[in-house]
Structure 1
Amino acid sequence: MVCVSLLHRHVQRPHPLGKVFGEDALQRFRGHRRPFGCVARTLAPRRRPRRGGLRHRIFHPFPSWTKRVSLGAPRGSWQAKRITMRVPYTRLNRAELDRQLSPSQSAKDFTGVLARHAAETASLDADGALRRWRDVAYGPGARQRYDVTAPKGAAGLPCLAFIHGGFWQEGSKAWSGFAARPFAQAGWAHVGLGYTLAPEATLSEIVDEIAAALIHLRAHAVEYGIDPDRIVLVGHSAGAHLAAAILTGLGGEPLAGAMAGYVLVSGVYDLAPVAASYVNDKMGLSPGEAERLSPLLYWPAADRPVHLLIGAEEPDAFRQQSEALALLWGRELRRISLTRCPGRDHFDILDELARPGSESWIRIQRMGQGG
């Protein structure tokens, strides 16, 4: 067993195979901030690490520590629990890992859900109570576009900005407006964000595109009747990874704090299992890039409310991702919650966002109100 004691919050973390990557206190004094477990020179200097006097004990082979955790509870009132710092996967063979990271295999009717969401999105154009701005360009790429939906005659609206999933290789903003109508009826605007798909774009470039889209949206928000300080960023599956990457500062630290809140639905936050699966056949993630772009290996760059949502019928590989992020980020965030929805799978879990009165709906409404 390997035990490492650390005196600051830039915590070195063992790789699932047992080797400790990262750098020691010398790197901290140089002002660099690397993700936990990141190999040297894979991340350019971006942020200074937070200072702190906490001591953590990290254990091999899957790092964990015993500490006080209760999601959203004030510090000092937490109950002791053991936290898994990385998402374990090395004991799974390739076939099992591929199966667990193929949510369509366990979903009840994923094609039906996607078709229903696409039909609902297309029907928004004919709704006379709504204003629509289609294919607003935030960059030169064909998919660097977003769609805006807002109730007529309103200004200063809170906004739900949605990032679709598809393991960064599939999907479209044409599916993203499934919740636009109920939110418009509640006095919200809705934005469906598009981005270039892999392998045409690398994952690093996709993260940069989402950041560019949000910066553009904030700059033009008043034109759509949106309050730029009340944008709640919501992502599903790969889109949840992209939203979490924004909160870690990978799209620029100021942008992380500019969002009113984050809703992460059925996401992947530790990319090591993804890089070892069929998903990487097209993505081409290197080990260093998978480490550098894993939100689980960063502290949040801003203290914003975060709500994680996961279906109880999803594969273990997805449920473990959300649980690990909730437990780790619960140390840093004052407002974080995790909801496991009975009877929901990886796709119909999205219907919780469009259901007025659901826990996720209520939490999003509070984020839009600044709570």
Structure 2
Amino acid sequence: MLRDMDAQFSLDSVSNLETVFEQRQAAADAALARFAVHRKLPYGDGPGRTLNIFPAEGADDPAPVQFFIHGGFWRSLDADLFSFLARGFVPFGAMLVVIDYPLMPQTRLSELVEACRQALVWTHANCANYGGDPSRIFISGNSAGGHLVAELADRPLLLRSGLAEDAIKGVTAVSGIYDIEPVTRSFQDDFLSLTPEEVSAFSPLRRPYDLAAPMIVTLGGDETEEFHRQSELFARHCHQEKYPVSLEIAPRTNHITVLTEALAEPENELNRSVRRQMGLLA
């Protein structure tokens, strides 16, 4: 039986989807072959708690760190598949960290969010060993990862990790899900079985939000109406006087190509906005 949010949380509207997936995989494989990488470094105990580090190229001093959380509706994909992001940051003096995390439904959302916090704490404590600057950590993520960076960037939740309130210097939330209640009205919930308690606790749009760093909220211009609705609402929800919040649309990109053709593409304005946030562009 079709439910009212099925089309909003599917990729059915993406043209040539299999080709898009093949291109993403090829780009990831090329990046793993092209760039130096430390793969599957454990940041905690248990399955899924590893991360990949791509050290910055051409950096004499400790490099700013871009810490990325992948999407997959909290239940699929892995860090290796997002290695293509290295081409948008590593040659320009940035370290890229791409994390894995335990997946639902074997893990509940509270443990998953906690794993991401653990990865951030580990990165803060250890990135200097790989040439990174722990005082310049920027976080980003797409889809479910956009939701997860929103969780990490909420000041009270950041402080629970034991990090300083300024430990994150900037945030980029890409195609995020900031109210998970609509997901319960889609086929995705057949796999997730989200509870009312999870909806209440882990929907940034449903609670007061105290942003801990400047934020870029972004998504592809060709994404579904629900992703646009949530991104626009979240950008307004985060707005306050201390840190700037911008909403940036990447034209002619969808839920996949907003990463492969925008965030990872050095000439794209989204990539340039993020590198500008990192102090790598004037």
TM-score computed with the length of structure 1 as normaliser: 0.69
Q: Which residue of 1 aligns with 2:8?
A: 100
Q: 1:260 to 1:236 in 2, by over 3 A?
A: same
1:112 and 2:19 matched: yes
Q: Any idea what SS the aligned residue of 1:282 has?
A: helix
Correspondence list, 1:126-141, <5 A: 126-127=33-34, 130-141=35-46
The aligned amino acid for 1:146 is L
Task: Note if contact 1:244-1:264 (Cα within 8 Å) is conserved in structure 2.
Answer: yes
Q: CA deviation at 1:302?
A: 4.0
Q: Any idea what SS the aligned residue of 1:331 has?
A: coil
Q: Which residue of 1 aligns with 2:75?
A: 169
Counterparts of 1:122 and 1:256 in 2: how far apart (Å)?
36
Counterparts of 1:298 and 1:332 in 2: how far apart (Å)?
19
Counterparts of 2:209 and 2:39 in 1: how far apart (Å)?
32
Counterparts of 1:250 and 1:212 in 2: how far apart (Å)?
15
Q: Identity across aligned pairs (percent)?
A: 31
1:342 pairs, out of 251, 267, 282, with 251
The aligned amino acid for 2:143 is S
Counterparts of 2:21 and 2:80 in 1: how far apart (Å)?
10
Q: Any idea what SS the aligned residue of 1:131 has?
A: coil
Q: Any idea what SS the aligned residue of 1:97 has?
A: coil
Correspondence list, 1:1-371, <5 A: 95-102=3-10, 104-127=11-34, 130-152=35-57, 154=59, 155-249=61-155, 251-253=157-159, 254=163, 257-331=166-240, 334-350=243-259, 351-369=261-279
Task: Note if contact 2:176-2:227 (Cα within 8 Å) is conserved in structure 1.
Answer: yes
Task: Note if contact 1:215-1:255 (Cα within 8 Å) is conserved in structure 2.
Answer: no
Q: CA deviation at 1:94?
A: 5.4
Q: 1:196 to 1:152 in 2, by over 3 A?
A: same
Q: CA deviation at 1:333?
A: 5.0
Q: CA deviation at 1:337?
A: 0.7
Task: Note if contact 2:89-2:275 (Cα within 8 Å) is conserved in structure 1.
Answer: no
CA deviation digits over 1:135-185, x for unaligned, max 9? Answer: 000112231110011245634101211111110011111111112023111
Counterparts of 1:338 and 1:109 in 2: how far apart (Å)?
28
Q: Any idea what SS the aligned residue of 1:201 has?
A: coil
Task: Note if contact 2:217-2:247 (Cα within 8 Å) is conserved in structure 1.
Answer: yes
Q: Any idea what SS the aligned residue of 2:53 has?
A: strand
Counterparts of 2:240 and 2:151 in 1: how far apart (Å)?
18
Q: CA deviation at 1:96?
A: 3.0
Structure having greater relative contact order (Cα 8 Å, sep ≥ 6): 2
Q: CA deviation at 1:341?
A: 2.5
Structure 1: give runs of 5+ residues left out of the alignment: 1-92
Q: CA deviation at 1:206?
A: 0.6
Q: CA deviation at 1:121?
A: 2.5
The structure with the largest alpha-carbon Rg is 1
Task: Note if contact 1:148-1:192 (Cα within 8 Å) is conserved in structure 2.
Answer: yes
Counterparts of 2:154 and 2:222 in 1: how far apart (Å)?
28
Q: CA deviation at 1:249?
A: 4.1
Counterparts of 1:148 and 1:309 in 2: how far apart (Å)?
24
Task: Note if contact 2:58-2:93 (Cα within 8 Å) is conserved in structure 1.
Answer: no
Q: 1:363 to 1:341 in 2, by over 3 A?
A: closer
CA deviation digits over 1:241-269, x for unaligned, max 9? Answer: 00001112474324663111111111110
Counterparts of 2:165 and 2:176 in 1: how far apart (Å)?
18
TM-score computed with the length of structure 2 as normaliser: 0.90
Task: Note if contact 2:57-2:91 (Cα within 8 Å) is conserved in structure 1.
Answer: no
Structure 2: give runs of 5+ residues left out of the alignment: none
Q: 1:343 to 1:211 in 2, by over 3 A?
A: same
Q: 1:109 to 1:299 in 2, by over 3 A?
A: farther
Q: Say which structure is richer in helix.
A: 2
Counterparts of 2:169 and 2:38 in 1: how far apart (Å)?
22
Q: CA deviation at 1:360?
A: 1.7
Counterparts of 1:134 and 1:222 in 2: how far apart (Å)?
16
Choose 108-117 or 281-290, whichever is displaced more. Answer: 108-117
The aligned amino acid for 1:121 is A
